[in-house]
Amino acid sequence: KDQGKSPPQAKDQGKSPPQAQGKGPEKSQGTGGQKEGPKPIKVTMLKGEGVGPEIMDAVQEVLSAAEAPIEWEIFDECKSPDSDEVPAAILESLGRNKVGVKGPVDDRRWQRHIRKAFEQFAYVSICNNIEGVDTPFGEFDLVIIRDQMEGDYSGIEHKVVPGVMQTIKVSTKVGAERMAKFVFGYAREHNRKKITVAHKANIMRLTDGEFLDAIHAEADKHADKVLFEERYLDTTILNLLMKPEQNDVLVSSSMYGDVMRIMSGAMMGSPFLCPGYSVSCLGKVFECRMNSQPELASKDLVNPTGHLLSTVLMLRHLKLDKHADAVEGAVRRVYKESDVRTKDLGGCAKCSEFVQAVCDEI
């Protein structure tokens, strides 16, 4: 009966976290309050576009409630003033801190630039059901790892003749082997038991065949620890929908994995619920992949769950497991034990009300 009502107002509720001035980073004073504790860890924050600033404010507020020892280097502007490229200051900050969180940015050229400049060769999505969010898919816990440097998303296309366009799908042995080593390393590190590679090597025998051969070669090295199987993409997607609980780690090239990632997010109840991060030898950037939704910007309507859960992954990466448990437990209890839901999940709560509910749980 109290659905949609604002929770009791905290003394400082409604105040936005400190904003960066200009286009450079703001060095915050950390999120641990006045208590003495571990030395704050510097993390780069890109606020993004559209609803991005609201989501990143939510991340700061929740981590402050959890007293996570994080010192943010905040960038309000994600693009260079005279181009759509990533500013050098952002790349320098990410390279120095090795860890970042990012709000949504829609520009494809910008996305390709940061991936190539920061060598983000893979994206990892952690997809599992959230108790309290009603879906027809039951319990599942799976990981989707996709290439994001090669394949159909290489970004190479041109006009052959007027009326005829061509895109080039790129697959290199070096790139395929790098993906294969990361995937099996991830499975071993996180105690995952089965890896399924989705492909269409029956049609694209050279490109998908190169990717598949590399996975097979790496699988042979881990045969005693990790079960490996290959399936055509259409069969993989069918099993994902019909028997989600039987999936563990799914790996594929860029476009196939993007499709599976979006589907798995929808299976959780909303694409805004699925956390993840980009992988690079230079560090990791944590985010929930989503559009910037400019139509919702500054309306306090966006669902911040995916980015909050992505931040949980960041905290675990930083070995701050106690703080990660506090944040993840709070988010899941809000869904399990309350009716606070944002509009995308059929509720009427605002983003700020959801965030306050999570902070109250912490």
Mean pLDDT value of segment 104-128:
92
pLDDT tens-digit series, residues 156-178: 888 999 999 998 888 999 999 99
**All residues at 6 or more sequence positions from 295 whose CB lies less than 8 Å from its CB, including other chains:** none
Q: Is the confidence at residue 28, as pLDDT, over 60?
A: no
pLDDT in tens, 31-55: 544 456 678 999 999 999 999 999 9
Residue 267, token pair as written in the block: 């299976």
Q: What's residue 239's pLDDT?
A: 94
* Position 29 pLDDT exceeds 80: no
| 230-260: pLDDT as tens digits | 999 999 999 999 999 999 999 998 889 899 9
Task: Return the structure tokens found at 281.
Answer: 């030898």
Mean pLDDT of the chain: 89
Between 305 and 7, the higher pLDDT residue: 305
The confidence score (pLDDT) of residue 53 equals 96
How would residue 155 be classed by pLDDT, with cut points 50, 70 and 90? Answer: confident
Residue 2 pLDDT greater than 70, yes or no: no
What pTM was computed for the model?
Answer: 0.87
Task: Read off the pLDDT of residues 185-197 as tens digits, 9 standing for 90 and up.
Answer: 999 999 999 999 9
Q: Read off the pLDDT of each residue in 282-295 and give the average, rounded to a whole number.
A: 94
